[in-house]
Amino acid sequence: MKNRKLLMIPGPIEVDPSVLRAIGEVTTSHVAPNFIECFGNSIELMRKIWQAPYGQPFIIAGSGTLAMDMAVCNLIEPEENALVISTGYFGERYKNILTTYGAKVTVLQAEIGEIVPLEEVEKELSSKDYKLVTITHVDTSTGVLNDPQPIAEIAQKYNTLTILDGVCATAGEISKQEEWGIDVVLTGSQKAIGVPPGLALFVVSEKAMNVWKNRKNPVQNYYGSFTNWLPIMKAYEERKPSYFGTPPVNLIRALEVSLNLINNEGIENRIATHLVYAKAFRKAIQKIGLELVPKKEDEAANTMSAIYYPEGIDGNQFIKGISEYGVILAGGLHSEIKTKYFRVGHMGAITKSDIVVTLSAIEFALAKQKYKLTIGESIGTFLENL
Amino acid sequence: MKNRKLLMIPGPIEVDPSVLRAIGEVTTSHVAPNFIECFGNSIELMRKIWQAPYGQPFIIAGSGTLAMDMAVCNLIEPEENALVISTGYFGERYKNILTTYGAKVTVLQAEIGEIVPLEEVEKELSSKDYKLVTITHVDTSTGVLNDPQPIAEIAQKYNTLTILDGVCATAGEISKQEEWGIDVVLTGSQKAIGVPPGLALFVVSEKAMNVWKNRKNPVQNYYGSFTNWLPIMKAYEERKPSYFGTPPVNLIRALEVSLNLINNEGIENRIATHLVYAKAFRKAIQKIGLELVPKKEDEAANTMSAIYYPEGIDGNQFIKGISEYGVILAGGLHSEIKTKYFRVGHMGAITKSDIVVTLSAIEFALAKQKYKLTIGESIGTFLENL
């Protein structure tokens, strides 16, 4: 019998079999013509999926946190002001990154499960000269979804650069980098992009590239410096060999395959499917009496859900029970409510069947702890709402 | 017919089929019990292969350059003195990394194809208070091999930390971190470790970890900071779940498989084989009148060879010709002699047959340009000398 569990955490996620085949292809040279074509093509596909026709894509070996780090260390200079709009754990992370590079950081902290009101953002941005503002599109720790568009509009009004942490969002949530005027949109390969972990991916606007070019101080980070990587990205796009650090050939081949899958499906269709599945999943969960961490429906992510355990349910036993039914879910991450909730990823190449199996495991794991529910009810609700 | 070329560059290299199968296994959670075991086991295997029983291993998503960067940014502080013993392109790189973090850098530059005499190293280290010295074990740009042991001995005498860039050496050249007293030995996954590119790998001595713990200034780099990664490495080794950035699950699974292959063979045997193959390969190359970039036999790497084109041979045509015979070799990398030489990798999981095919391609590509040689002569010399 097959003996593997369905991976339904908010990244890494289930990936398409063709992506796994691609990562296992025989490793070629980083300057072999077929790999140069693969890298160049991936850069071009990123522009389409990011909806950033004039942006500069970067593909770097590292985790999503490296993408967060690179966006900041290349754009901020010591003593400059930076604003963090925090909806959880990853807002806190941006504060730490900015502090490392000498920025003066102000954090607008949302209540757990809520977003920061736009008025507060505008009030803060108008109060002093902010170099940049960071927004977490979906905070993986709370499942809260920000709408980046109005924030970007305000930021442009005050001439502040915008960095959108799209780690749990890009290619799963509506995001229009060029149209919305966002300066950096970043993610990791293992989220809605649908590739195993190991790639930091981001696109930088022309405006932000100019800000970087006109820095007064050198970038305080070697591996993450645009100076080292920009010529490499340009060379691959021009289909020319080049070298700074050896690119992760197998992962980039897998990336090309997954970006092609998304592009062939159409990024708008791919995102629309996420919205439909997520809405139906939330209804299913609520039908059996569970409550989401995000307090409002339109502030709940479509790539993942953070869900409170009902009263009387032991979290460790629940996650263990889920695993016995063949599904891997994630526990809490936000320190203040860590033991009170769990997280489900529903992004990328997942199918309706994956969600049905997950709901079934949730039902049985709850029932095992004497939680009262009608078995099958959440599944019915999910399928009815597709 | 099979339609792929043999990859004989100094990294990425041919990897064992079992390693490719491992990288293509279905992605699991970074906190799933089987992955925690895989990560913990890889850390323990690194200590054996590095011959560093008390060292702290790190496994991070990134290229070998990230390993170089992390070694420096965690150990150096602004205004401290650092010495670079440079035998090519990668010595130059260390100068740039050290400068990024505010070090005062002195470079001892070897002539191309030579090493820096020990007397010069001692003279320099005795002249002022050096915090650290960097050594390139094998410079991939010149194929020059340093003997790290006597340098480490001198460095210890002057209480200077040693960083050994083992990117093109670790698991292919003799290296005894604990016995020699080297503070950091670093590499990338795609070299003699035998895994596709995408992992920065290094082991830090207890002494260096203490130096880091007692820093006066914070580390100027976020993604590369030991503060973020040390608890993760410790947790995985203790077989406990933890999270900072999502580890590249598939690459680490491949790493475990390759480290096991090396460990089962025995690191000493694995290295001895490299020495035998490399010596026979050099004799073969010299037999047909080609000259190595390293000027002395015992300063020539055993993981790769840098070889001058004979007079009258056009480099581009030669590399193209090699490719037509089904082998990928690398051109020059060192700016001063870039068009005058080529590079062959012979490390990791390669076989005698791979080298025979490579020699055959070299012979035919030379003959095509009217170079005078007896076809088969280098192959005979290689096999006779095994």
List of chain B residues whose C-beta atoms are within 8 Å of the C-beta of residue A61: 61-63, 66, 197-198
Share of chain A above pLDDT 70, in %: 99
Do B248 and B308 fall into the same domain? Answer: no
Domain count, chain A: 2
List of chain B residues whose C-beta atoms are within 8 Å of the C-beta of residue A96: 222
User: Cβ distance A66 to B245 under 8 Å?
Assistant: yes
Is B1 part of a structural domain of the chain? Answer: no
Do B194 and B296 fall into the same domain? Answer: no
Mean pLDDT within B281-299? 98
Do A315 and A203 fall into the same domain? Answer: no
Do B305 and B273 fall into the same domain? Answer: yes
Phi/psi of residue B21, each to 5°? -65, -40
Cα dist. A297→A14, A90, A121, A291, A304 in Å? 25, 21, 21, 11, 13
Is A1 part of a structural domain of the chain? Answer: no
Q: Which two tokens stand for residue B303?
A: 């993981």
User: Cβ distance A125 to A160 under 8 Å?
Assistant: yes
Do B317 and B337 fall into the same domain? Answer: yes
- pLDDT tens profile A18-39: 999 999 999 999 999 999 999 9
Do A314 and A240 fall into the same domain? Answer: no
What was the pLDDT predicted at B18?
97
Do B221 and B287 fall into the same domain? Answer: no
Is B361 part of a structural domain of the chain? Answer: yes
User: Cβ distance B120 to B166 under 8 Å?
Assistant: no
When CB atoms are compared, the residue of A15, A27, A220 closest to B7 is A27
Do B60 and B205 fall into the same domain? Answer: yes
- The residue of chain A with its CA nearest to that of B28 is A7
- pLDDT tens profile A292-328: 999 999 999 999 999 999 999 999 999 999 999 999 9
pLDDT over 70 (residue B275)? yes
Do A374 and A245 fall into the same domain? Answer: no
pLDDT over 60 (residue A1)? no
Kind plus residue range of the DSSP H or E element containing A386: none
Task: Give the confidence band of A231 by pLDDT, cuts at 50, 70, 90.
Answer: very high
Q: What is the dihedral of CA A142, A304, A197, B59, to 10 degrees?
A: 30
Dihedral of CA B3/B9/B13/B17: which sign?
positive
What was the pLDDT predicted at A314?
97
Mean pLDDT within B278-290? 98
pLDDT over 60 (residue B215)? yes
Q: How far apart are the first and last CA of chain A?
A: 31
- Distance in angstroms (rounded) separating the CA atoms of residues B154 and B166: 19
Do B143 and B275 fall into the same domain? Answer: no
- Domain boundary residue among A237, A265, A293? A265
Please identify which residue in the block is written with the tokens 């429906």: A297
- ipTM associated with this complex: 0.97
Domain containing residue A243: CATH number: 3.40.640.10
DSSP string, A108-160: EEPPTT----HHHHHHHHHHS-EEEEEEESEETTTTEEP-HHHHHHHHHHTT-
Mean pLDDT within B353-370? 97
pLDDT over 70 (residue B2)? no
- pLDDT tens profile B96-122: 999 999 999 999 999 999 999 999 999
**A215 is annotated as contributing to ligand binding:** no
Query: CB distance from A348 to chain B under 8 Å?
Result: no
Going across the sheet that includes A104-109, the strands are A56-61, A199-204, A184-188, A161-165, A130-136, A81-86, A104-109
Domain containing B176 equals 17-265
Is B78 part of a structural domain of the chain? Answer: yes
Task: Give the confidence band of A2 by pLDDT, cuts at 50, 70, 90.
Answer: low
Query: CB distance from A219 to chain B under 8 Å?
Result: yes
Mean pLDDT within A269-277? 98
- Distance in angstroms (rounded) separating the CA atoms of residues A352 and A358: 10
- Distance in angstroms (rounded) separating the CA atoms of residues B288 and B228: 53
Task: Give the confidence band of A4 by pLDDT, cuts at 50, 70, 90.
Answer: confident
| Interchain pair B222, A73: CB under 8 A | yes
Do B127 and B247 fall into the same domain? Answer: yes
List of chain A residues whose C-beta atoms are within 8 Å of the C-beta of residue B61: 61-63, 66, 197-198
Going across the sheet that includes A291-292, the strands are A291-292, A304-308, A341-345, A330-331
User: Cβ distance A341 to A318 under 8 Å?
Assistant: no
Domain containing residue B344: CATH number: 3.90.1150.10
